[in-house]
Structure 1
Amino acid sequence: EIKATVVYPATEKHLQKYLRQEVHLVRETWEDYKNITLPFIQSQSFSIQWVYNILEKKAEADRIIHENPDPCNGFVLVPDFKWNQNQLEDLYLIALIQRRDVKSLRDLRAEHLPLLRNVLQEGKEAIAKRFGVPGSQLRIYLHYQPSYYHLHVHFTALGYDAPGSSAERAHLLEDVIDNLLLDAEYYQKRALTFALRADEPLLKKFQEAGRV
């Protein structure tokens, strides 16, 4: 059996994404985030209009598995495009939060705990009801760095070696909740490690700053 992903039309960014590249680990302190990563994010024109289109039901409304419309603590659960929904072995869904002021793990504080608990509990319940997969067989996590800067949570089958589920990128949602219970500003204090490909502009910024 062969599974293929076809991207058309493929931009130069797509081509670079799928080329084999050297990878470097970056250890980002909170100061690094404020001085390097955040200015880089703000300087880029990362379009997330497609996320807003889903939240506003202008696109993919028929693919929504679960919706909590609360503007502060709600989210929408949809199948990831990498999953064709034909088999459960590689189950993959994404929870997109309703609020638009949380870019990534770095923005999370104790005030977001009700939101994160909703995603965890309601997401597991919706998947169990729709697909018959219990929460104990799900890997539920956030990426850092994320591929787009609107907070979202990944739900994948535990037995599926999903892209980005490695230790240097995936942060289990239950661990994130526990960390915020320990310290309301946990993710504004600790260093975070992530991998960057040799051709990624953010890596160049860290190299220029002498941090890699």
Structure 2
Amino acid sequence: MGEEEDEPSPKLAKIDVELHPFHRLKNPVVLNEVKEKKLVFLHGKVGEDNKDAVVILEKRPFDTSPKGLKSLFSEETKLRQDLLNDIYSTYAAVPTSPHTEIKTTVIYPATTKHIEKYTKQEVEVIEETGDDYKQITLPYLKEENRFSVQWVFNILDKKSESERIVFEDPDPEIGFILLPDMKWDLKDIESLYLMALVHRHDLKSLRDLNKDHLPLLKNIKQRGEDAIQEKYGVKKHKLRIYFHYQPSYYHLHIHFTNIAFDAPGSSVTRAHLLTDVIENIEFMSDYYQKKTMTFVGKRDDKLVTALRKTP
């Protein structure tokens, strides 16, 4: 078989430098840095009214296509030698784009909650009982309005990101929209990351699920797996499908990632596999209303503080 043709590079939309908050960020401060993942989180002010903005910078994976490798090892890549010893040598290499691209996420205007979310803090393990959820967590979520989900409604109503939808089942009870997560660059299949957003507005998290929702969960699993295999060629046994608890936002959604990808939040302290959730509910309908849920929270988070004070 011959080499596959390279996919055409997506056209970049022209950005108005004078208006975009990225170019007007003043006095950026590092909120957090994850060096092993080549990630940095910044906070700064924008405009004369000094509105807050959060900027997330992430080094993109190497372009390992034939065209990408050819450009990497071309004379356009600048080298500065750092060490030479017998057969070993090291260099600071400065390749041309796309190898030097930096994935950039801008949250603007950002709220205090966004700034707190991305600020480095000590974390601790929290055990939330079913009663804790009803008496502490649920009232807290209602009072704090923790992270707006308007952007989710925009997707479900086709006001935003409609061109990114991979699959949709429009059924109001068991339907969902499947689309790429913002963390995925849409190129590297090994780091494949999609999410399913349910059409129902009355489900916030795992805590709301019972036997009445089994058709919804099974539908998302089967049709999500089928859509991903058809679109990206990734078979179901190569997928990790899971919920987060606690989730970043409270509209029920499910994560689909390539098992080869060490996705953020895929560890045992936060991820709950969809197959396990289905089986647990089949065993006991109110399993997630009664179960003590263990998660990792930031030490200074108000909810973590409240839950820590419970007996």
Decide: shared fold, TM above 0.5.
Answer: yes
Distance 1:8 1:69, change over 3 A: closer
Report 1:5-16 matches (<5 A): 5-9=104-108, 11=110, 12-16=112-116
Aligned residue pairs total: 210
Specify which of 164, 181, 186 is matched with residue 85 of structure 1: 186
Q: In the alignment, is the contact (CA less than 8 A) between 2:128 and 2:307 conserved in 1?
A: no
- Structure number with higher strand proportion: 2
Specify which of 72, 82, 96 is matched with residue 197 of structure 2: 96
Cα offsets for 1:88-111 (capped at 9, x unmatched)? 011000000010101100000000
By how many angstroms is 1:201 displaced? 1.7
Alignment RMSD (CA, Å)? 1.5
* SS at structure 1 position matched to 2:189: coil
One-letter identity of the residue aligned with 1:86: K
Partner of 1:114: 215
Partner of 2:258: 157
Specify which of 102, 117, 133 is matched with residue 17 of structure 1: 117
- Aligned structure 1 segments of 4 or more residues deviating by more than 4 angstroms: none
Matched, 1:132 2:203: no
* SS at structure 2 position matched to 1:31: helix
Specify which of 171, 175, 182 is matched with residue 74 of structure 1: 175
* SS at structure 2 position matched to 1:86: coil
Cα offsets for 1:10-59 (capped at 9, x unmatched)? 73444433332110111111011111111101112231111111111111
Q: Greater CA deviation, 12-21 or 58-67?
A: 12-21
* SS at structure 1 position matched to 2:213: helix
Q: Quote the sequence identity (%).
A: 51
- TM-score w.r.t. the length of structure 2 is 0.65
Partner of 1:31: 131
- TM-score w.r.t. the length of structure 1 is 0.94
One-letter identity of the residue aligned with 1:186: Y
**Greater Rg over alpha carbons, structure:** 2
One-letter identity of the residue aligned with 2:176: F
Specify which of 168, 176, 179 is matched with residue 277 of structure 2: 176
User: Separation in 2 of the partners of 1:51 and 1:181?
Assistant: 29
User: Separation in 1 of the partners of 2:230 and 2:280?
Assistant: 29
User: Separation in 1 of the partners of 2:294 and 2:276?
Assistant: 16
User: Separation in 2 of the partners of 1:37 and 1:124?
Assistant: 32
Q: Which has the higher contact order (CA 8 A, sep 6+)?
A: 1
* SS at structure 2 position matched to 1:147: coil
One-letter identity of the residue aligned with 1:7: V
By how many angstroms is 1:5 displaced? 3.9
Q: In the alignment, is the contact (CA less than 8 A) between 2:201 and 2:251 conserved in 1?
A: yes
Q: In the alignment, is the contact (CA less than 8 A) between 2:191 and 2:258 conserved in 1?
A: yes
By how many angstroms is 1:198 displaced? 1.6
- Structure number with higher helix proportion: 1
Return 5+ residue gaps in structure 2 as ranges: 1-37, 39-58, 61-102
Return 5+ residue gaps in structure 1 as ranges: none
User: Separation in 1 of the partners of 2:128 and 2:121?
Assistant: 21
